[in-house]
Amino acid sequence: MPIGRQSPQSHWLHDNKFDQIRNIRYRFNMNTSALPARTFAAFLFDMDGTILNSIEAAERAWAAWARKHGLDVEAFLPTIHGVRGIETISRLQLPGVDPYAEVREVLLAEMEDMGGVRAIAGASKFLASLPEDRWAIVTSSPRELAIRRLDAAGLPHPKNFITGEDVENGKPAPDCFLLAAQRLGQPIEDCLVFEDAPAGIRAAEAAGASVVVVTAAHERPIGTGHPSILSYEVLVAHRLAEGGLRLAPAA
C-alpha cells in the first residue's frame, strides 16, 4: 500500500489530482511484455494497493496514532505498508506501550474510515473471471478490516481468504503465501502472486512463487525485476481445459 510524499522511502501516491500524470507515466513503463507465459495452478492476490486502494483511509488512521505518540509522521507512514500492524508498532519499541492494545485502537479507527477506498481499475472483472477454487486473497490486514474494505470497493469476498491473524509471521515472511497455496491444494511453485509492496514481494519470492507487481498506486518504480501492470484492464486470464490459468495482455 503506497503513499506519496518527497521522502526517499516513499513510493506511492494518495492524492487523486496526480492520477492522470501517474497513469500516463506508467502506461509507458509497464512491463506486460514480460508476463510469464507458463500455466499456473492458482493466483494469489495481496489486497491493499493490489486489488484496491485504501491508502488515504489507512494513512489518516495511522497518522493520528503517530501524532498521539510523538512520532515523525512523514518518516513513519512509509513503514506501515504491506505489513501487519502488530509488527509496525512492535518494532518501534515504545516505552510503556502495549502493541496489541494499540493495534486494536488503530484498527477501530480504520474500520470507521472507508473514505477513498476504491477498487483498482479492472480488478472486479478480472477476479470474477477466475474459478473460485483457483484464487485467494492474502493480506496483512485483519479479517474484519479486510471485509469492510472489500465491501467499500465493491469487490467479491474470496472463497479462500488468508489474513494477518492466520499466520504467526507476517510479510516479508513467506508463511501467508505458503498457507494460501496449501489451502488451495496447489504447489506454491505453481502459484502467481500479485503484489504491490516490497514486503509482500519479498514474501512471495521467499515462498517460491512467481510475481507480478501492480503499480496502480506507485509514484515511482520500486526496483524489482518482476513484470508489472498498471491495472487489471491490461490483462486477461485464460482458463485451460485441464484447470490451469494463463495470463495474456488484453487486446
Q: What torsion do the CA atoms of 55, 61, 66, 69 make, to the nearest 10 degrees?
A: -170
pTM of the model: 0.80
In the chain, what is the greatest distance between 2 CA atoms, to the nearest angstrom? 58
Work out the average pLDDT over 44-62: 90
- Among the residue ranges 16-30, 90-104, 159-173, the one predicted with the least confidence is 16-30
Are 189 and 209 contacting, i.e. CB atoms less than 8 angstroms apart? yes
Does the pLDDT at position 6 exceed 50?
no
- The grid coordinates listed for 26 are 506508467
Catalytic option among 19, 46, 113, 166: 46
Residue 237, SS3 per DSSP: strand
Tens digit of each residue's pLDDT (9 = 90 or more) over 117-139: 999 999 999 999 999 999 999 99
| Residue located via cell numbers 486489488 | 51
Q: Among this protein's residues, is 46 annotated catalytic?
A: yes
Does the pLDDT at position 17 exceed 50?
no
Catalytic option among 15, 19, 48, 151: 48
- Look at residues 205, 199, 195 and name the one whose alpha carbon lies nearest to residue 229: 195
Q: Among this protein's residues, is 48 annotated catalytic?
A: yes
